[in-house]
Amino acid sequence: MSPIRVLVGVLGMDQHELGAVGIARMLRDQGMEVIYTGCFNTPETIVQAAMQEDADVIGISSHSWEYLYYTPELLELLKQNDLDVPVVLGGSVITEEDAGKMLDKGVAAVFGSGSAMTDMIDTVRNLAAGAATS
């Protein structure tokens, strides 16, 4: 079985990269292939990279409210491109209320700073498995 491919990146002008780098390492340690796109992404660059790299899951790390605007745009762009790749959001800046809003819009999962590592890993595995069978 080929390893799960996860795209990890940060959107817009948000330059807090610690969470993204930490998650990328954590997923790599689990044997997943991580396509790390760093900072300064837009929904367009994320979708493009996800297509080129056959990503099973897209992980967006956020420490800026920009994600509130970019995430719906990203979801819409994925739909326009017929790309059925689940989007996972992470970041301490995401409040419980906003997490709910993002889930309603179609984000597959949201994690805060205190989320357990095992939860995050299991979720990515399950989403990747779901995406593969759909």
Partner 1 sequence: MKENSTRSGINLSPVYGPSDANGDYSRRFGNPGEYPFTRGTRAYSGRGWIQRELSGEGDPKRSNEQFKYLMTLGQTGLDVIGDSPTMSLMDPDHPLARYTVGTQGVSLCRHDDYRQLLDGIPLDQMSISSSGPSMFTVASLYLLAKERGVSPGVLRGSVIEWPFYSEHCSYAYKMPFDLHLRMSCDVIEFCSKEMPKFHGFLEDTYFFSEAGLNAVEEAALGFVEIRHIVRALLARGLDIDSFAPRIAILTNCSMDFYEEIAKIRAMRRIFARMMKEEFGAKDPRSQAVNIAVHTSGLSLTTEQPANNIVRGAVQTVALGLAGVTALEISTFDEGYRTPSKEAHLVGLRTQQVIDLETNINSVQDPFGGSWFMESLTDEVEARILDMVNEIESLGDPAELVSSGYFKQFFHGTMGRYHRQVHDGEVLKVGMNVHQMPAEQDTLLRDISEEKIEPLFDRVEEVSAYRDKRDQKPLLDSLQRLHDVVQTDENMLEAVLECTLAGATMGEIAGILRQAWDTPYDPYGYLESPIGSAQ
- Give every CB contact of residue 47 below 8 A, 6+ residues apart in sequence: 74, 77, 78, 81, 83
Looking at residues 6 to 45 of the shown chain, list those that interact with partner 1 (rule: CB under 8 A): 12-15, 17-19, 21-26, 39-40, 42
Pairing state between β 109-111 and 33-41:
unpaired
What kind and span of H or E run contains 36? strand 33-41
CB of 5 to partner 1, least distance (A): 20
Q: How far is the CB of 123 from partner 1 (least distance, A)?
A: 15
CA distance 94 to 71: 12
Binding to partner 1 by CB under 8 A, coded x per residue (else -) over 82-111, reads ----------xx-xxx--------------
Residues found near partner 1 in the complex (CB under 8 A): 12-15, 17-19, 21-26, 39-40, 42, 64-66, 68-70, 92-93, 95-97, 112-114, 117
